Amino acid sequence: MKKTFRVANVCAAFLFLILPFAMACGSRAASGSSQAATPPDLNGVWSAPFTPDISKALGHQPPFTAYGASRFAKEDEIDDPLTKCLPIGPARGIQAGLMPFQIVQTPSVFTILFENQHTFRIIHTDGRAHPKDLDPTWFGDSVGRWDGDTLVVDTVGLDDRTWLDTAGHEHSDQLHLVERFLKADNNTIKWTVTFEDPKYFTESWSITLPITRQNTEIMSYSCEENEKDRAHLRRAKK
């Protein structure tokens, strides 16, 4: 009787020790190995280095198609959509927006609030796919998923009236963006964006920039208020 009781106690102790490991393994198997148990917290106000000419970050001009090269050769500062106070678009809003932006993160949605033009961008992280029929919008349709500690964001359905930067790099409504937000440390996000647009570029290309935390709050800004610049712009390219 005592021997049976002793064996039962040993078995119970063994199960108590291995149970947490078994539960952890089961949890990883159910959620998939690429999904972090707890995604990094990216909430806060952030800013990327102002990059008015995206080719500087790339190291050379993007791989233009003949059409893309001809369009870039003719573009002029006076044609910049921002001179008409139009929304800035998703990538330019981060790397050439001049102003900070705020990330508001929940389990089902990742929102970027831009101080520039007081606009916002919604990235769905609830597992949904892009709608089949999309009407182009200023920030497109964005869906995100966690690949380990990196948020991977896929964006399509972008309005072709936005620019990629201030230097006149355009895109078509076929633009496809893939962004990767990796939290390097508490004050830095490594942001990599890949551009794919068969109308403007012969192949996809990418840039990587650091996004740093800001000890500030985003403010209310609208360029329509007291705007006096556009009247003084003159066309430089023929």
The pLDDT of residue 236: 64
Indicate the helix (H) or strand (E) that contains 92: helix 90-95
Paired strand residues for 180 = 152, 192
The three-state DSSP-derived secondary structure of 146-180 is: EEECEEEEEEECECCCCCCCCCCCCCCCCCEEEEE
The rounded percent of the chain whose pLDDT value lies above 70 is 79
- The pairing of beta strand 176-185 with beta strand 44-47: unpaired
pLDDT score of 124 more than 90: yes
Confidence of residue 238 (pLDDT cuts 50, 70, 90): low
The pLDDT of residue 19: 45
Smallest CA-to-CA distance from 50 within 211, 170, 163 is with 211
Confidence of residue 172 (pLDDT cuts 50, 70, 90): very high
Rounded to an integer, what distance in angstroms lies between the CA atom of residue 145 and that of residue 206? Answer: 19
pLDDT score of 52 more than 50: yes
pLDDT score of 28 more than 50: no
Confidence of residue 223 (pLDDT cuts 50, 70, 90): confident
